[in-house]
Amino acid sequence: MKRPYNFSAGPATLPPEVLEQAAAEMLDWHGSGMGVMEMSHRGREFTSIRDQAEADLRELMAVPAHFKVLFMQGGGLAQNAIVPMNLSRGGAADFVVTGSWSQKSHKEAKRYCTAHVAASNDADRHTRIPAPESWKLDAKAAYVHLCTNETIHGVEFQSLPDLKALGSDAALVIDCSSHIATRPIDWSRVGLAFAGAQKNIGPSGVTIVFVREDLLGHALPVCPSVFDYKVVADNDSMLNTPPTYAIYIAGLVFQWLKRQGGIAAMEQRNVTKAQLVYDYVDTSGYYRNEVDKSCRSRMNIPFFLPDDKLNDAFLAGAKERGLLQLKGHKSVGGMRASLYNAMPLAGAQALVDYMREFAARHG
Ligand code: PMP
């Protein structure tokens, strides 16, 4: 079956092989007589699914042994509260604001700690990343929060800052919700990373947290037990019923990623796909992307037509050609193409072909 190409920013397209396997196993997982949704989370079957998912993720992302991998609920937005409740000790934290998601993280953290903005690209309408040397870091901050891929503005950190070299002892916290598993992570620079699953990993409902062990055990008294990283870690993410089906699909995606050659191979493909679209946008003389070239996202490409009045015609024509969910976020306008791991090169090519055709007709 030929499916349309789905450019949604999330929940987003998944590999057809994964969906087909899930469909085949829907009524009877591995001869157990049960579907995964129907299994006790404490039974042998589901425990093996969970353990395999964690082992595959650790292998794929080369997660060091001194990091815990947690499967939580509440999405990225819940982490905006959970991180300060666990890491701030009620003191200070720094935020580098590079777009809507880091802005939201800062706002929420203010409820739990003294949250400073160490740098912001607000004046540049979120189109560039302030140089780390210019960040005004607070010597007393327990952590520094970044969103390493701003899904709405299409701004991505191409490398992680070395906080030590910037004179800070704070832990680096990264919200990598929209580019997890699309490029390697330099764990030597990270204290905690979190990501909702619904872009590159699977369905919404599970949030993955990687946390360095020395950061555990400092939750504020107000922190709910299910959100206390130490409690979650001590219970292997099974203090209460985890989002079992979401974890199962994530596990199938991890196995798919291994069959694709792992994260380094995915990264190469992601570079190629993004380059194809940016090169066309930049040379088209018709479309435009406003993000500085040094920090353009490989995952989320916002682009604009010369006249917003053409947006509806563009989207309607795209849909007719099997190119779905290209409408930009309402706060930015225009279009946005999300090119997550499961988007094949042929999808990016089909988009560029259509963009060229549309520009020729309306240019
Ligand atoms: N952070 C980033 C970078 C995101 O893209 C999103 C969702 N689009 C969130 C946080 C919020 O995630 P959730 O909707 O799962 O709470």
Sequence-ordered alpha helix ranges (H) in 25-61: 44-61
What CATH number corresponds to the domain at position 30? Answer: 3.40.640.10
Task: Verify that 93 and 79 share a domain, yes or no.
Answer: yes
- Phi and psi, residue 150, nearest 5°: -85, 105
On whether residue 217 sits in a domain, the answer given is: yes
User: What average pLDDT score do residues 242-261 get?
Assistant: 98
Q: What is the 289 CA–ligand 1 centroid distance (Å)?
A: 22
Active site residue 199: yes
pLDDT at 48 over 80: yes
Last residue of a domain, one of 199, 234, 259: 259
Catalytic status, residue 256: no
Give the chain's domain count: 2
Asked if residue 7 belongs to a domain, the reply is no
pLDDT at 2: 83
Mean pLDDT of the chain: 97
Residue 80, Cβ density class (10 Å: 0-12 exposed, 13-18 middle, ≥19 buried): buried
Contact 42, 55 (CB under 8 A): no
Pick from 243, 246, 253, 244: nearest CA to 20: 253
Say whether both 222 and 116 belong to one domain.
yes
**8 A C-beta contact, residue 140 and residue 111:** no
Is residue 58 domain-shared with residue 69, that is, in the same domain? yes
Dihedral sign (CA 94, 11, 351, 358): negative
Closest CA to 132 of 83, 167, 92: 167
Q: Is 175 a catalytic residue?
A: yes
Co-location of 146 and 242 in the same domain: yes
Residues 130 and 154 placed together within one structural domain of the fold: yes
Do residues 148 and 90 share a domain?
Answer: yes
Residue 5 located in a structural domain: no
Q: pLDDT at position 130, please?
A: 97
Closest Cα to residue 96, out of 174, 152, 6?
174
Position 12 in a domain: no
Confidence at residue 169, expressed as pLDDT on a 0 to 100 scale: 96
pLDDT-based confidence at residue 15 (cuts at 50, 70, 90) = very high
Cα of 234 to ligand 1 centre, how many Å? 26
- pLDDT tops 90 at residue 251: yes
Residue nearest to atom 12 of ligand 1 (CA): 76
Mean pLDDT for the stretch of residues 151-178? 98
Q: Do 251 and 163 reside in the same domain of the chain?
A: yes
**Same domain flag for 153 and 196:** yes
- How much distance in Å is there from the Cα of 68 to the middle of ligand 1? 21
**Ligand 1 pocket: which residues have CB below 6 Å?**
10, 75-77, 101, 147, 151, 175, 177-178, 196
Place of tokens 């949604």: 8
Per the residue annotation, which of 56, 68, 138, 199 is the catalytic one? 199
Binding-site residue set for pyridoxal 5'-phosphate: 101, 151, 175, 198, 240-241
For the cut 90, the answer to whether the pLDDT of residue 42 exceeds it is yes
Q: Which residues pair with 206 in a beta bridge?
A: none
Condensed to tens digits (0 to 9), the pLDDT of residues 185-203 reads: 999 999 999 999 999 999 9
Q: What is the predicted pLDDT for the residue at 82? A: 98
Quick: pLDDT tens for 301-354: 999 999 999 999 999 999 999 999 999 999 999 999 999 999 999 999 999 999
Please state, for a pLDDT cut of 90, what percent of the chain lies above it: 99
pLDDT in tens, 89-148: 999 999 999 999 999 999 999 999 999 999 999 999 999 999 999 999 999 999 999 999
What span, in angstroms and rounded, lies between the C-alpha atoms of 206 and 221? 24
**Is the ipTM, as predicted for this complex, more than 0.90?**
yes
Domain that holds residue 215: 17-259
Residues 41 and 145 in one domain: yes
> Given this model, what pLDDT does residue 363 score?
84
Hey, which of 8, 73, 77 would you mutate to test ligand 1's pocket, going by the most ligand atoms within 8 Å of its Cβ? 77
Query: For the chain, what is the radius of gyration of the CA atoms?
Result: 21
Retrieve residue 141's tokens: 């901050």
Q: Which of 56, 94, 138, 175 is catalytic?
A: 175
Pocket test for ligand 1, best of 151, 156, 330 (most atoms within 8 A of CB): 151
Question: Per-residue pLDDT for 274 more than 90?
Answer: yes
Please compute the mean of the pLDDT values over residues 171-194 and round it to a whole number: 98
pLDDT for residue 1 is more than 80:
no
Residue 176, pLDDT above cutoff 80: yes
Max Cα–Cα distance, the chain, nearest Å:
62
Quick check: pTM over 0.95?
A: yes
Residue 9: predicted pLDDT: 98
* Residues 117, 271: Cα–Cα separation, whole Å: 31
CB-CB contact of 153 with 129 (8 Å): no
* Ligand 1 centroid to residue 196 C-alpha, Å: 6
- 344: region left, alpha or beta (phi > 0 left; psi from -120 to 50 alpha): beta
pLDDT band with cut points at 50, 70 and 90 for residue 210: very high
Question: Do the domain assignments include residue 11?
Answer: no
For residue 76, pLDDT over 80 is answered with yes
For residue 160, name the pLDDT band (cuts at 50, 70, 90).
very high
Q: Is 236 helix (H, G, I), strand (E, B) or coil?
A: coil
Give mean pLDDT, residues 218-241: 97
Same structural domain, 122 and 135? yes
In CATH, what number is assigned to the domain containing residue 275? 3.90.1150.10
